[in-house]
Amino acid sequence: MLDDMMLGQFFPADSVLHRMDARLKIMLLFIFIIAIFLCDSKTDYILLTLLNIILMTVSKIPFVMYLKAVKPMFWIVLFTFIMHIFSGEGTIIADLWIFSATWEGLTEGIFITLRLILLVLMASILTFTTSPLVLTDALESLLSPFKKIGVPAHELSMMMTIALRFIPTLITETDKIIKAQKSRGADFSSGNIIQRIKYIMPILIPLFVSAFRRADELALAMESRCYRGGQGRTRMKEMKFGRLDFFIAAIAVLIIVGMIVLKIKGI
Is residue 249 in a domain?
A: yes
Best mean pLDDT range from 95-99, 165-169, 189-193: 165-169
The structural domain count of the chain equals 1
Residue 215 · residue 202 · CB < 8 Å: no
Residue 207 lies in a domain: no
Task: Give the chain's radius of gyration (CA, Å).
Answer: 22
Give the separation between CA 125 and CA 122, rounded to whole angstroms: 5
Burial class (CB in 10 A: 0-12, 13-18, 19+), 109: buried
pLDDT at position 231: 66
Cα 94 from chain centroid (whole Å): 35
Q: What is the pTM of this model?
A: 0.75
pLDDT of residue 154: 77
More confident residue, 90 or 17: 17
pLDDT tens-digit readout, 233-242: 666 677 788 8
Range of the domain at 29: 1-130+239-267
The per-residue pLDDT for range 101-133, each reduced to its tens digit, is 787 778 888 888 888 899 889 988 988 998 877
State pLDDT tens for residues 20-76. 888 889 888 888 888 888 777 787 788 888 888 998 999 888 888 888 888 878 888
Tens digit of each residue's pLDDT (9 = 90 or more) over 228-266: 766 666 666 777 888 888 888 888 888 777 777 777 776
Contact (CB, 8 A) for 239 and 21: yes
pLDDT at residue 1, rounded to an integer? 47
pLDDT at position 5 is 59
Residue 41 domain-assigned? yes
CA–CA separation, 172 and 259 (whole Å): 41
Render pLDDT for 170-213 as a digit per residue (tens, 0 to 9).
888 888 888 888 887 777 667 676 777 777 778 888 888 888 88
| Structural domain includes residue 72 | yes
Closest by CA to 159, choosing from 126, 129, 135, 130, is: 135
Please state, in angstroms and as integers, the Cα–Cα distance from residue 49 to each residue in 54, 115, 192, 200, following that order: 9, 9, 41, 38
Answer yes or no: is 192 within a domain.
no
Looking at the DSSP bridge assignments, the partners of residue 94 are 101
Q: Is residue 2 predicted with pLDDT exceeding 60?
A: no
> Does residue 28 lie within any of the structural domains?
yes
89: left (phi over 0), alpha (psi -120 to 50) or beta: beta
